[in-house]
Structure 1
Amino acid sequence: MGLSLAAAERWVERWERQQEHYAIDREERFTVIADVVEHITAGRPGRPLVVDLGCGPGSLAARLARRLPGADIVAVDRDPLLLELARTHHADAARYVDAEIGEPGWAEALDLDRPLDAAVSTTALHYLDPDALLRTYRRLAALLRPGGVLVNGDHLPHDDAGLAEVAGWVGRRSAERRRVHAHEDWSSWWTAVAQDPELTDLLTERERRDRASAVGTHTPAPLSLAAHVRLLRQAGFAQAGAVWQYGDSHVVVALR
C-alpha cells in the first residue's frame, strides 16, 4: 500500500520546520534560486528543463514549479523515504528519479531528452568529496546547454578563520531572533519518523541502502566557497561565484 497523502503532508510540513533549524533565511534562499532560474530561462522557446539535485521531499522542486509552471522539472535523490514523500505530497511538481548523485549511471538515470537549462540544489552536494564533486560538476557542465546555469544553495565556510567565526555568529544571532531552535531538529525528526508505521518499509529500505553505501559513513569536511568556485571553473563553467549570502549560507551560480 502506498503512502497516504495525509501522512505525506504531515511529514513534509514537519520537515520544512526542522530545516529552518539549520538554514539561515531558508525561504529567501529558495527565492533567490528561483530568481536565477527565471532570469536564465526568460524568453527562451519551449519548456525550460531543470534538474533538482538531491531533492529530498521536494521542497525546492515544488517552489520552482509554482514560480515556473511552464518548466519541466526532474528531481533526483537517493533517499527512498524522502522521495516517496515528494512523490506523494508534490506529485505534480516534478518527475522524480531514484539515483545517487556522483555514482556511475546517475546522469543517465535522469533520462533527459534535451540539454538542461538549469541544475539546482540546496544543501545536498556537500556530502561529495572534492574528486566526486569535480566529476559531478563536469557531468553537469556537459548536460547543460550553452548559457545554462548551475545554482547551488548551501552552507559554505570561509577560508579565513576570522571571517568564518563572524559568519557563524551572524547565523546564530539570526536563528535566535527567529526562534528557529524551538523547532525539532534533524535527529528528532528521524526519531519521530521511526515511530510511524506507514513509513516502516521506506525507513527499512533507507537503512539498507545506507549500510551498502559509503554515504553517511564518512562526511567530508565542508569545502569553502572559494574551493567550490575553483572546482566549477575547472569543470568547464565560464563564470562562477556567489550571488547571495547570509552568514555562511550562500547561493552560488555557475554559468555554462
Structure 2
Amino acid sequence: MSLNTATAAQWVERWDRQQQRYAFDREERFTVVADVVEHVTAGRSAPAVADLGCGPGSMAVRLSRRLPQARVIAVDMDPLLLELGRTLEEGMIRYVEAVIGEDGWTDALGLDQPLDAAVSTTAFHYLPAAVLQRVYTQLAAILRPGGVLVNADHLQQEAAADIAAHVGRRRATRQSAFAHEDWESWWAAAERDPALTHLFNERRRRRGSRGDTSAGNGLTLSRHTAMLRAAGFAQAGPVWQVGNSCVLVAVR
C-alpha cells in the first residue's frame, strides 16, 4: 500500500509543529545549519551532504531548497518517518535506513565521493558517549579535508548551567513552544491513521520500539569539542547558541 502525498505532507507538517516543543528557535537553527553548509560548499558543483537522524526529512528538505545542486543523503533508523519524507519527493534527496553508530552504517550511505558536510539536529544527544565518539571518528574518515560536521542539539553548559537552562525555558515559553503537542501524542495520533497502518506494522517488525525519549547523554559543549578533536577534526566550536540550544561546527 502506497502513501499519498497529501497524507505525508499532513503528518510532516504536524511533526514540525510537534518538534518545536523540544527545539525552540527550530527554524533559526535550521537556517544557521544551512548557512554553514552553504558557506563550506560554495563553488562546488555537486556537493554531498548527509543529514543524520533526519526523521521525515525536515532539515534535508531545507538544505535541498537552499542548495538545489547538492546531493543530500537523509539517514534515519525509522522506516515510517523515512517513508513520510520519501513520499514528498522534494529535491535531490536520497533516504537511507541505517542505525547511526552500528557496524557498517556508513557503508549504507553508498558514497561515491567524500562528504562535504554532515549535519544532525537533535539526534546525537541520544547516543551514549562511547558510541558518539565512534561516530565522530567515522564521520571524520568520510568527510573531505575542509568539510564540516554541524551538530544542532541540546548541549549542556559548564558554567552557569542552571541560568542557561532557565534562559532557554523562558525563551521557549515566550514562543509558546509548550503549547504544541508532545512526542507521545504525535505518535499515538499517527498510529490511529489507517493510511499509516502498514508503515506501523513494518516499524514494529524492524524496530519494535518508538525510540528513546530519555534526557540523553548529558555531554557538555566542551566534552563534545574535545571528542571531535580526538576524532580527527582540526577545529570545533559553537557558531550559534541560546541557552542550551547550540549549533556546533567541527572542521575536518
Would the TM-score normalized by the shorter structure come out above 0.5? yes
- 2:199 corresponds in structure 1 to 202
2:244 pairs with 229, 238, 248, which one? 248
- 2:222 corresponds in structure 1 to 226
- 1:17 corresponds in structure 2 to 17
SS of 2:43's equivalent in the other structure is: coil
Alignment of 1:1-256 (within 5 A): 1-44=1-44, 46-160=45-159, 163-211=160-208, 216=212, 220-256=216-252
**Equivalent AA in structure 2 for residue 42 of structure 1:** A
Cα distance, 1:220 vs. partner? 4.7
When structure 1 is superposed on structure 2, of 135-144 and 87-96 the one drifting more is: 87-96
Cα distance, 1:212 vs. partner? 8.0
Compared CA separation, residues 212 and 59, structure 1 to 2 (3 A): closer
Q: Is the Cα–Cα contact under 8 Å of residues 9 and 89 in structure 1 kept in the other structure?
A: yes
Compared CA separation, residues 190 and 96, structure 1 to 2 (3 A): same
CA distance in 2 between counterparts of 1:138 and 1:6 reads: 40
Q: Is the Cα–Cα contact under 8 Å of residues 140 and 231 in structure 2 kept in the other structure?
A: yes
Compared CA separation, residues 32 and 224, structure 1 to 2 (3 A): same
SS of 1:50's equivalent in the other structure is: strand
Cα distance, 1:90 vs. partner? 4.2
**Equivalent AA in structure 2 for residue 11 of structure 1:** W
Is there any run of 5+ residues in structure 1 with no aligned partner, and where? none
Cα distance, 1:218 vs. partner? 7.3
Q: Is the Cα–Cα contact under 8 Å of residues 24 and 177 in structure 2 kept in the other structure?
A: no
Q: Is the Cα–Cα contact under 8 Å of residues 49 and 71 in structure 1 kept in the other structure?
A: yes
Post-superposition CA distance 1:164-185 (Å, at most 9, x none): 2111111111122111222111
**Equivalent AA in structure 2 for residue 250 of structure 1:** C
What's the TM-score, normalizing by structure 2? 0.95
Give me the identity figure in percent. Answer: 61
Compared CA separation, residues 175 and 226, structure 1 to 2 (3 A): same
Cα distance, 1:52 vs. partner? 0.6
Post-superposition CA distance 1:197-241 (Å, at most 9, x none): 11122223323433489x639775321111111110000000001
Compared CA separation, residues 251 and 5, structure 1 to 2 (3 A): same
Q: Is the Cα–Cα contact under 8 Å of residues 24 and 247 in structure 1 kept in the other structure?
A: no
Q: Is the Cα–Cα contact under 8 Å of residues 24 and 175 in structure 2 kept in the other structure?
A: no
CA distance in 2 between counterparts of 1:41 and 1:144 reads: 12
**Equivalent AA in structure 2 for residue 48 of structure 1:** P
Compared CA separation, residues 219 and 246, structure 1 to 2 (3 A): closer
What's the TM-score, normalizing by structure 1? 0.93
CA distance in 2 between counterparts of 1:180 and 1:217 reads: 18
RMSD: 1.7
Compared CA separation, residues 93 and 124, structure 1 to 2 (3 A): farther
SS of 1:126's equivalent in the other structure is: helix
SS of 1:104's equivalent in the other structure is: coil
